Amino acid sequence: MNSHLDKINDFTARLDIETLTALNAISVEKIFKKGNFLLRQDEVCKKSYWIEKGIARKYYLNDGKEITTELYFDNDIAVSFDSYCLQKPSREYIQALTDTTILQTDFGAFQTAKQQFPKLAKLDLMMTEYYAMWLEDRLFQFHTMDATHRYLKLIEDHPYIIQNIPLTFIASYLGISLETLSRIRAKK
């Protein structure tokens, strides 16, 4: 799985200066304070957000309850995927959980840049593929693992997660109740 991420990193590391310059030209650094929103429901996701430093989460409301769909750390890229691809209103919120430094890239400008710099188009495809594989893996976990195993897998992959993120968000990310998560943690 991570071999694809390696491929992406390798690919970006080898980008020629012209392509990199073009990418920089359409990107802006921004800082979001803890609790602030990079994106809200019903807004169109017009930027991709590269998390330089900090923690963020993506979530939506279902029956008034927040369901966390993704957690972001350093070097992750955050978008509300269908809103970004289709440029339609987002069902999801993206929120900074700590003070977070972000490099945001404009959707429209990126589409234009892709036409001039084919490597950016290639990069776009690779990142989309990576996201699809990540989703497949997450689905696999929901399909085959119970709450305890999903939790163990999560802290195995991201040990630092428990120090930095409130349990409520982790529980909802794992698709279990806060109470169940608390009990799982009490046991082991």
Partner DNA sequence: CGACATATTGAGATCCATCAACCAATGTGG
Partner DNA sequence: CCACATTGGTTGATGGATCTCAATATGTCG
3-state secondary structure of 111: helix
88 phi and psi, to 5 degrees? -125, 165
With respect to a copy of itself, which residue has the nearer C-beta, 144 or 163?
A: 144
67 binds DNA (CB under 7 A): no
Of 4 and 40, CB closest to a copy of itself: 4
Q: Which is nearer to a copy of itself, 20 or 121 (CB)?
A: 121
Going edge to edge, which strands form the sheet with 65-72? 37-39, 92-96, 56-62, 65-72
Map the footprint of a copy of itself across residues 73-132, applying CB under 8 A. Answer: 81-82, 85-86, 88, 121, 124-125, 128-129, 131-132
Query: Which of 148, 154, 155, 158 touches DNA by CB under 7 A?
Result: 148
Least distance between DNA and beta carbon 163 (Å): 10
Q: Which does 166 bind (CB under 5 to 8 A by kind): DNA, a copy of itself, none?
A: DNA
Beta strand 100-106 pairing with 27-32: antiparallel
The yes or no reply on residue 142 touching DNA (CB under 7 A) is: no
Residue 61 interacts with DNA (CB under 7 A)?
A: no
Are 139 and 150 in contact, with CB atoms under 8 Å apart? no
The residues, any chain, with a CB within 8 Å of residue 141's CB and separated by 6 or more, are: 149, 150, 153
Q: Closest CB to DNA among 142 and 157?
A: 142
Q: CA 163 → CA 100, 133, 187, distances in Å?
A: 17, 27, 18
Give contact residues for DNA (rule: CB under 7 A).
Answer: 146-148, 166-168, 175-183, 185-186
